[in-house]
Chain A
Amino acid sequence: MTAIVSTTAPTRSWRLTARGYERLISIASPIVLLLVWELAARTGAVDVRFFPAPSSIFEKLVALLSSGELMRHTLTSLGRLGWGVLLGGVPALILGIMMGLNRVFRAIVEPLVAALYPIPKSSIVPLALLIFGLGEGSKIFMVAVGVFFPVIINTTTGVLEINKIYLDVGKNFEANRWSTFRTIALPGALPFIMTGVRLGIGMGLVLIAVAEMIGAKSGLGFMIWNAWEIFAVEQMYVGLFVIALIGVALTVILQELERVIIPWKTA
């Protein structure tokens, strides 16, 4: 996309470039939507039992924040998400690299992954509850399952995509197994791995919400479910808003992280 370069100097100070114009629209459109929504709610054009006015949702957000309740649920969910990402991601990373480096190991593990991957992850929540009970275990397990598959699949692909010449260099320069893993397979596959982690965390966020709706006493999923049970619609919207916010924040953080740990990619 090229910016419009004005030929006459004076107009440049106030005329927007095409990109600036688009950015303005992107910022304006949700604000306009919220205003329309607010107006519709106040005039009774939409049913406030389903679509409460943004101002009342915001009031509820402030109330839940000041009571500490929102913070408690958010931190609980984030904690489960963090543990799940760690417990699902790290084994997936190690297994994925091993699959990429070793044909025999790949032949053993690949069919298992291919068979389990298509199962909708949310459908195994009852199984997770059966095995791990109502406590933290089942929630963390669900996140781990969600993270595991995208990470293992992307990591394997990433290692397989590494140009064979780098492995030849490693062999010729007497890199042992661990060094090959650390200095070639891991950094070589890192761009793919980061994609896997991003997809995995997205999946984890979905699953934590689902898992917390069933058999949990805390967390954002519970807060949303509980809002339905007591018919506190504003609280439900607050929960949805915070989950969306976490999703956006994590995406931004991961993008920044990628820039730092993959410096050779920024051309």
Chain B
Amino acid sequence: MAKLHELPGKPAIRIRELVKQFGDFIAVDTLSIDIMNGEFFVIVGPSGCGKTTLLRILAGLETASGGQIEVVASQLSDRPVNRMVFQGDSIFPWMTVWDNIAYGLRMRGASAKKITEVVGHYLDRTGLTKFAKAYPHQLSGGMKQRVSIARAFANDPQILLMDEPFSALDAQNKVLLQEELLKIWEEHKKTVVFITHSVEEAVLLADRIMIMSAQPGRAKAIIPVPLPRPRDYMELQKTSAYGDLVHRIWSSLREEVQRARQQSDGGAT
């Protein structure tokens, strides 16, 4: 198990000895980590390493089999504790872009004035103002994902959980959305827990990266990303610090991917 890195600042989430089992299958095994307030925390790992399970537990969509999760931030305000940006299409096809973004605010019973104001702000922020009245089937994949992000941000959660939000997008759209996300995040400095299978994406976005091992899912390494912000994808790629980090994480991750492959060759799929 990786040593806990004590960072300055208050932790937003304390995870201690977290275990999640599905029958005999151990998805997450004695995982302990502190995620700091305002931190951009990225999790990478091979398929089936329990990344999504961990995020779903944090989102309250699964219950842990053992261990503790303490969300410290929740005691401080009446803002929602967490909101999730789901993997794949998750915006409601039966609602317009506007209604999708307003969804969380409505569920929390915000005033009409507040809803109009906040939805307007995030429509503008994500460049969707012209599409406010459009239905999802009229949008491209990248636009749908922007709606999903706006929906989560509009609720002003203390913690933002993102499960491979850009994995289904083409390379160009991905870079644009990553930059948009970083801009919005730098304005609000929310705690973000972000899952990806892309090492480049992890390094571009993260304050720290957790590499998870495959079956059972454990924290193999936690790697700080000391690159200065604001980060620019094009500029970053030219620096050697970026290349070194990507290389280091890749080598660590590759062992896990190979191990996961051997395991699945051994019978389990």
Contacts and interface: CB of A to CB of B under 8 A. Distances in A.
A and B form one complex: yes
Interface of A: 163, 165-166, 168-169, 171-176, 179, 183-184, 187-188, 190, 262-264, 267
A264 B135 CA distance: 6
B90 interface: yes
A163 B90 CA distance: 9
Nearest to B82: A172
Given A172-B60, A172-B83, A190 B107 contact: no
Given A175-B107, A263-B135, A264-B136, A169 B92 contact: yes
Nearest to B155: A173
Given A173-B103, A173-B104, A183-B103, A190 B61 contact: no
A174 B135 contact: no
Give the most central of B60, B94, B95, B104: most A CB within 10 Å: B94
Give the most central of A171, A176, A190: most B CB within 10 Å: A171
B61 A171 contact: yes
A165 B94 contact: no
Contacts, number: 55
A184 B92 contact: yes
Contact of B86 (A168, A263, A264): A168
Contact of A187 (B82, B84, B94, B103): B94
A234 B228 CA distance: 90
Contact of A165 (B60, B82, B86, B107): B86
Interface string B88-122: 11101111000000011001100000000000000
B59 interface: yes
B137 interface: yes
A174 B107 contact: yes
Contacts of B104: 173-174
B80 interface: yes
Given A263-B135, A267-B137, A172 B59 contact: yes
Minimum-distance CB pairs A-B, first 5: A187-B94, A264-B135, A173-B104, A172-B84, A165-B90
Contacts of A183: 92, 95, 103
A264 B93 contact: yes
Given A264-B93, A264-B135, A264-B136, A169 B86 contact: yes
Nearest to B91: A169
A264 to B, nearest CB: 4
B100 to A, nearest CB: 10
Nearest to A263: B135
A174 B92 contact: no
Contacts of B103: 169, 173, 183
A97 to B, nearest CB: 14
